[in-house]
């Protein structure tokens, strides 16, 4: 679905909105629209869970690696932040992959990065309550989380959950 537009779900019809490593690919304007639409479609007492790369942890790792003299520290940071262009997509992609890349805005790089504070603020500003930080495959609100997060964490990430209040 096009996240730049109103979602095609009925208001207060969804128990959970889950987005893992999607949010950072949205502009800040679209991210705020996403949160507003999630608030609209989630039932009262429903849950939102957003997972994004952790700008704080990635930056902290970069600083440590830089201060210990690792010459490739900047390359790893840029790769983790998905701000590089070289090698983003294989040169031998098939026609369908190239069309998909074009539709997605090739190269499909990150448009905004978050730490726990900035992500919590956007979620709070939309009206969600009981905002808490979690971790990979752990949720106080989604019993089935291990059905979605069942391998291992890739890049260090922020896991934020919140509840839509019962007005």
Residue 2 lies in a domain: no
Q: Which domain holds residue 139?
A: 14-163
Q: Which SS3 state, helix, strand or coil, does residue 17 take?
A: strand
Inter-residue contact 132 to 161 (CB < 8 Å):
yes
Residue 9 lies in a domain: no
pTM summary value:
0.86
**How do residues 68-81 score in pLDDT, each as one tens digit?**
999 999 988 888 88
Q: What CATH number does residue 108 fall under?
A: 3.40.50
Domain count across the chain: 1
**How do residues 25-54 score in pLDDT, each as one tens digit?**
899 999 999 999 999 999 999 999 999 999
DSSP code at position 132: E
């Amino acid at each position: 679905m096009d996240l730049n537009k109103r979602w095609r779900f009925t208001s207060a019809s969804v128990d959970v909105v889950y987005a893992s490593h999607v949010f950072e690919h949205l502009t800040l304007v679209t991210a705020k629209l996403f949160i507003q639409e999630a608030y609209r479609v989630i039932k009262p007492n429903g849950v939102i869970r957003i997972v994004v790369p952790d700008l704080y942890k990635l930056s902290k790792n970069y600083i440590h690696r830089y201060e210990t003299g690792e010459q490739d520290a900047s390359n790893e940071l840029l790769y983790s932040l998905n701000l590089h262009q070289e090698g983003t997509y294989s040169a031998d992609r098939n026609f369908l992959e190239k069309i998909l890349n074009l539709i997605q805005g090739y190269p499909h790089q990150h448009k905004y990065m978050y730490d726990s504070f900035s992500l919590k603020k956007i979620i709070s500003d939309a009206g969600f309550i009981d905002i808490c930080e979690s971790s990979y495959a752990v949720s106080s609100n989604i019993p089935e989380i291990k059905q979605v997060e069942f391998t291992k964490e890739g890049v260090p990430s922020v896991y934020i959950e919140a509840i839509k209040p019962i007005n």
